[in-house]
Structure formats: C-alpha cells, structure tokens
Chain A
Amino acid sequence: MRPGPVFARIAGGTAIGAVAAFLLLPLLALVLQVRPASLAAELAEPAALDALRLSLLSSAAATIVVVVLGLPVALLLAARDFRGRRIVETLVALPMVLPPTVAGLALLLAFGRAGLLGGALSLIGITVPFTTLAVVMAQVFVALPFFIGAAAAGFRGVDRSYLEVAATLRASRPYTTARILIPLTLPSLSAGAAMGWARALGEFGATITFAGNVPGVTQTMPLAVYLRLETDFEAAVALALVLLAVSFGVLLAVGAGPFALGRARAAGAPR
C-alpha cells in the first residue's frame, strides 16, 4: 500500500473492516448457531431432503432454460445497434430490480387460472400455478437478466477482428458464433450461468406468490427455511447452512465471484 496520511489509512482500514464485519458476521452467526447433531437429524428428514432435491433440480432446469433463451438475446444485444435497443436492455434488466413478490404476482396474472393466458392454457390441459413448472418459471424470470447481462458484456468484449477474419474466410455467422464467439466468451458465459443459477436457487418471493408452498412440489429450500422458522428454529438454521454451503461451493468452483466484482477477463478481449 502506498504510504499516505495516517488519517486516510485509518479511514480506509475502518471502512474495509466494517464491510468485512457486516458481510461475515451474519454468516458466522449462522454457522455458530448450528449444532452438528441437529444438522445430521435435519438432513435425514424426508421433507428437508425433498426441499433440497426440488431446489437443486428446479434451479438446474431454470439455468438450462436461461442459457438457451438468453444466448440469442445476448448475441442480439451485443451484435448491433437497433432502434429501441435501450428499451429492450431496460426491459431485460427489470426483473433484477423488481421486488420478487411483484414478479410473482405478474406471473400469476399472466399464467394463472384467471390470467391472460390461463384460459388458453387450461383449454389444452395445462395448469401452471402451484406446480413445479411454476417454480421453474419464477426462477427463470428472475435469473435471466443475470445471464444475459454477463453474456452480452462477454460478447461485446471479444475483439472484432476475429469475427472480421472469420467473415473474410467466408464463415457463416452461426458457424463463427459457435466456433469463435462462444468459445472465447466461455468464462463470461459460465460465470453468468452460475450467477443466474445462484439467483434461481435463492428465489423466494416470486416462487411463493406464483407457485405457492406445496411440500415436495413447490416448496424449495428458501421456502422451507422460512416456514421452519415458525415451527422448528433449529431445523431452519440447519437448512439455511446447507443452502449457504451449496451456493458458496458453486460460485467458488466456476469463479463467478471475481466476475461479479468485475475482475474477470474474457479470453478474447482486445489486446
């Protein structure tokens, strides 16, 4: 660190310490609260295992949908300027700032029994609310912007001369996208997918509003934690710790943390 006035150093150190304490203290409290015995007992509980399984499966499904739907949108947003681009970008980012309960309500009004598409869907025998499908839909809704944002930024960071050389070699756009653009953007894509997945895993408000709280069907881990708070405090804490551990492990494994904080560098970034 560069030597500076003592005051600046003290102020900086204090701020760093405050942030560290503020972020770590609640996590530490959670970890300290868990007794190993109750953790083991809770993990043997079928209802808890159901919630964990549902959370992992639904968030995995949501991540796949997010990547499949998000890639073309990210390519479009990164590739060219078009009229109304700012509007599209703002709409895509909206679920990030929308209160999740509002998102859930909006989904209900669109796909619920009395919703805009509800009638049409029930005609072909599909009921969305209070099903696992609704859980996945709620997660996709809130997770999409995280992936699209990261992917579009990654695509935009690829040096244009690679794509231009590919064009002079008469490669089609889809071929160049598959062999040059996506491979060079892989770090951003995997980080974006991991952040989207983490957001889906932690989804609470939209899920409980749109999908409800049916054990084994729509009761994901966050819902289970919240409900156990009223009945079995120790169980809630144990489940919370499991959720924390899974999130931390995945983010660490794909390196999404550094990316979210802007430290990642795309493989194809301009030199």
Chain B
Amino acid sequence: MLVLQARLASRRGEFALAAEFTAESGSTLVLVGPNGSGKSTVLRMLAGLSRPDAGEVRLDGEIWGDTSAGIWRPAAERSVGWLPQDLALFPHLSAIENVAFGLRAAGIGSAAVARARDALRALGLDRELERKPAALSGGERQRVALARALVVEPRLLLLDEPLSAIDPAARAALRGLLKRVLAERRVTTVYVTHSPLEALALGGRLAVMHQGSVVQEGMPTDLLQRPRSEAAGAFIGTNFFRGTLEKRDGSGLVAIRTPAGELLAADPGLEGEVFVAIDPREIVLSRDAPSGSARNVFRGRVVEIAPEPPRGDRIRVALATRPPLVAEVTREAIEALGLTEGAEVHAAFKATALEAYQ
C-alpha cells in the first residue's frame, strides 16, 4: 500500500499527544493547527529524532517504527528530508557544501558538488553558492535548506513552518516555488504550518491538529464548509455548533436545537445529532429589526470588532447573541452602521446559509 501511516502517542507532563493520520504516497499532507498543538513533535517522530511512548510509522508498507514490536528506527536508518523551523544550515559551510553534505556523507565524492549545484539551480539559486549561510537572504537560506534535504532523494519530506521566517513580501513567491517543487518531485510530504491561510494556499489535504490530536482530516473545501470540531471551526474562523434536528413542519425548514439557542435550516434530510456551520460572510448586521426574508434573526451586543488580515477591509464582528455568532462584513458596512464595541445589533441570515451535516 503506497501510503504514509502514522499513529503517535506520548505524554510529556501536561501535554498529551495522540495523533493519527495517513497520507497518500507522493502527495502533500498539511498539518495545521495553533502553536503548541504538537505539530513539530509529530515531525520529529516521523523523522526518527524523537520516540513516542507508543506508536507506529509505516511508509509504503515498510515499518519505520512500531513500538509494540520494539522497533523505532533512528533518523539515519529512515529516508527523510527534514527542514526544522530554524533551518539549521551548517554555519561554517558554504551554500553548496551545505547541499553536498548528505551526498559526501553517503560516499559520493567527485559528483557531489555537481549534483548539489543542480539541486540548487532547480530551486532558482545559481549564484553566490560559495557564500556562508549568514551572508544569504532569508529566501536563499530557505532554498539551500530545501535543496540540502531534497538532493539525497528522501522518501519522506518533513517541512516545519518553512515560510515563517520569510518576510511577507517574499512569502508568496516562495510558496509558489514550494508548491511547484512538491508537485514535480512527487515526494510524500508532511508540511507543518500554524497559518490557515498558508494551509489553504497549498491546496493539498489538510489535517487539523488541536491539543495533540488530529481533529479533522480532509480537503480544504470540505474542511472550510464542514468543520467537525470546535477546534477546526475556530481554526478556519467559521461559526460552528453541534445540535439536534427537531420538528419538521412540511415547509421545507427544520429547527436545530443547539445548547446555546435554536437555528432554522433548510431540511438536510438527516435525523438526530448534526454539525452546523454558518459562513460569517452570510450574516447581515443591522441596527433595526430586519424586514427581509432571513429566517434566522438574533439580537445582541457587539463583543469585538477586529479587522481581518492582510488588508483589513473585511471586519470580523463577534456578537454576544444566543447562540454566539461571528459575522464578517465590510469596513463600509461598519461605518454606515456606526458600529462600536458594546452596541446592540441584529444579526440575520437565511436558512439556506446554514450548513447542517453529520
């Protein structure tokens, strides 16, 4: 079976890791979650640099680790390319010698420099290869580290926040390069990031981590529309509730009762417990009671008004309604309504804006 399978459990003081996920061979799995959710620890265990209390790692059927059988191969006996967050470029070696290191270690003497140069050129670096890392720009350092990891042709590539040290202006270009390289090389990759924006921009399968566990795995669109946990909902910034489907009255609408209030939805044809997601952009705010066709109307105070990065022309408005909602509106709308924190507003959305699923 051509997949990466991982099941990792460990406990360090208060922090418990219990993560399980798979990735298809040759694809990129984006491990995304807030800082401290255990993403880097997972990478270290995949790399063979740390050992879980219990767990299993298999790549394409080959056992890299199986604690129940007492197996946990060290890094040198796996085949991984690991980019730690700080890159750890060898400071005393030139860019080209950093890349050639793994080849020389494998006994490839004379061809090492030529292959290292090719690897760097493939990432768009062909000048000043004799420079030490300290004399390179952030983006150049990133390319050198990536070339160093790729040149030994690892079977598993592990990237830990590869764009976090890059200034925002250069980030998009480097992300594009990464996407292209990962697609071309078809090397199985686990890509760690804390940024939902970056995770979505990569376009691959996502696994959302929260407090040491993978809370949801899936494609970006699925995750965006149908989060399956409070953590996943909060992470992508959507309104997420758990509820129970109630009475059908033949009008095509159903009531969903959540612990914090009742919502009206288009009949999803389901029974019992459901998840509910409401896109914050579907929620309309007004000072007076709305007169339109929206079936869900709630009244409450504005708790917080927060501009959305990167441009701040979209504003997120957190409301103390029942249930609590977050709306995303334009700056113009805020100004037109004269909204301030503490103001009373009505939040309205259509029954069809509400996604109910199991």
Does B86 contact A161, Cβ atoms closer than 8 Å? yes
What residue in chain B is nearest A180 (Cβ atoms)? B90
Does A172 contact B88, Cβ atoms closer than 8 Å? no
Does B84 contact A170, Cβ atoms closer than 8 Å? no
Does A169 contact B91, Cβ atoms closer than 8 Å? no
Proximity string of chain B (76-101) to chain A, C-beta cutoff 8 Å, 1 when within and 0 when not = 11111110101010111000000001
Q: Is A159 an interface residue (CB 8 A)?
A: yes
What residue in chain A is nearest B49 (Cβ atoms)? A164
* Cβ–Cβ < 8 Å partners of A172 in chain B: 76, 105
Does A165 contact B105, Cβ atoms closer than 8 Å? no
What is the interface size of chain A, counting residues whose CB is below 8 A from a CB of the partner? 21
| A271 CA to B75 CA, complexed, in Å | 24
| A16 CA to B20 CA, complexed, in Å | 63
Proximity string of chain B (151-164) to chain A, C-beta cutoff 8 Å, 1 when within and 0 when not = 01010000000000
What residue in chain A is nearest B80 (Cβ atoms)? A168
Proximity string of chain B (44-77) to chain A, C-beta cutoff 8 Å, 1 when within and 0 when not = 0001110000000000000000000000001111
Known contacts being A171-B76, A267-B92, A268-B91, is A166 close to B105, with CB within 8 Å? yes
Does A167 contact B76, Cβ atoms closer than 8 Å? yes
Q: Is A184 an interface residue (CB 8 A)?
A: yes
Interface residue ranges of A145-179 to B (CB < 8 Å): 159, 161-162, 164-172, 175-176, 179
Interface residues of A (CB under 8 A from B): 159, 161-162, 164-172, 175-176, 179-180, 183-184, 267-268, 271
* Cβ–Cβ < 8 Å partners of A165 in chain B: 82, 84, 88, 90, 148
Does A271 contact B105, Cβ atoms closer than 8 Å? no
* Cβ–Cβ < 8 Å partners of A268 in chain B: 91-92
Known contacts being A161-B84, A161-B86, A172-B76, is A184 close to B105, with CB within 8 Å? no
What residue in chain A is nearest B85 (Cβ atoms)? A161
Q: Is B102 an interface residue (CB 8 A)?
A: yes
Does A164 contact B82, Cβ atoms closer than 8 Å? yes
Does B84 contact A179, Cβ atoms closer than 8 Å? no
